[in-house]
Amino acid sequence: MKSQNHLQLSAFPLSMKIDAAIWREVQLGTMCVGYETYLQDFDDKEILKALPDGLYPCPHWCDIGRLTICYPDYEEVVNTGEVYNMAPGHTMKADAGTVLLEFSPYKEFEKLTESVDQNLEKLAP
């Protein structure tokens, strides 16, 4: 992933596409910025199996979209137009039609994507 200082959303490099979702990502300074489009309802538990406890170890901050953030002992629903901070130790479910613009610390996100990418490739058409 090449580091950038600014970039239009339409120019974000494609990182992965499956029937349920399209992920585009770029590094901006020390942050990874993800532009995610969910075409179908999506639950990410399947792609997180290789991670410790099957949970994201990386925090995320986001705007746009509707999703459910699942922690081991509770869930939070984030509605369109709200912003959130997902603490480490979560999974998430996105409704079809959700679009997210998500920010994550790049080094932590890079570690996360190594194991998630392998599971996403199994889901790719």
Residue 93 has pLDDT above 90, yes or no: yes
Cα dihedral 65, 70, 75, 76, rounded to 10, equals -30
Average pLDDT over residues 15-22: 90
CA proximity to 36, closest of 111, 115, 116, 107: 116
**Fold for the domain defined by 14-116:** Jelly Rolls (2.60.120)
Q: What mean pLDDT value characterizes the chain? A: 85
Q: How far apart are CA 26 and CA 34, in angstroms?
A: 7
Higher pLDDT, 124 or 109: 109
Average pLDDT over residues 8-37: 90
Q: Kindly list the domain boundaries of the chain, sorted by start residue.
A: 14-116
Range 111-119, long-range pairs (CB < 8 A, 24+ positions): 111/57, 111/58, 112/51, 112/56, 112/57, 112/58, 113/15, 115/50, 115/51, 116/47, 116/48, 116/50, 116/51, 117/16, 118/50, 119/46, 119/47, 119/48, 119/49, 119/50
Question: Could you give the percent of the chain with pLDDT greater than 90?
Answer: 30
Residue 3 has pLDDT above 60, yes or no: no
Residue 1 has pLDDT above 70, yes or no: no
pLDDT band at 51 (very low <50, low <70, confident <90, very high): confident
pLDDT band at 73 (very low <50, low <70, confident <90, very high): very high
